[in-house]
Amino acid sequence: MLSLAVAALIACSPPTDPGVPPFRLAAPVASDSLMELYRSGRTWEDFYAAVNARRVLWVDNYEGPGLPDSLLTRARAVEGTWRFLVVAIDSCSDSANTIPFLAKLVDAVPGLELRIVDPTAGRWVMEGHRTADGRAATPTVILLDEAYGERGCFIERPVALRRMLAEARGGDQDRFESKMTWYREDAGRSTVSDLIGLLESAAAGESHCDQGA
């Protein structure tokens, strides 16, 4: 488990109002609530145009090389309409290294849609999908089916990066730099593979929620 100091540096956990108790899901969220939140969200185009913090990183990741054909072939083999509901903020390094690649996937694959809400509107979604070490974090990505039912989730960062950070040594700054180097070298491949895995599981009738840590 990450220490609080490390988590503060390398993670994106929006502050919680101390006067508001942590949200807990007592039951699965109704699809109409997720539908309402999804429909209130920004399109990728609107969100991207308004990005201010870490803009160079967002632009480099979105406008850089396209996704590998092997990943696109997997995604295009999944039939149906699927929607990604994302809670993200432009200042979060994990969001900046995840959402541009998700947007490229949506751009390239028919049947995929994307909407983005901020951590204020999406707080209840984040609180209901905490990381393995108990944090509400960005990005929180929820996969919705055609009827807006939840079919999977991706929280904060890909599995391979979490494994690397769990084994990493050094101080907070060293770990942050290691994270950013990993993201740069991976170029979105692991992130997109994990997201496609959610699609494949959902299409097979399974729901998979991949908690961050």
pTM: 0.86
At residue 95, φ and ψ (nearest 5 deg) are -65, -45
- Residue-averaged pLDDT of the chain: 87
Q: Residue 130 has which token pair?
A: 């905490």
Of 98, 79, 87, 92, the C-alpha closest to 146 is 79
Is pLDDT above 90 for 167? no
Question: Predicted confidence band at 100 (pLDDT cuts at 50, 70, 90)?
Answer: very high
- The answer to whether the CB of 129 falls within 8 A of the CB of 28 is no
For the chain, state the CA radius of gyration: 16
User: Please, which pLDDT band fits residue 53 given cuts at 50, 70 and 90?
Assistant: very high
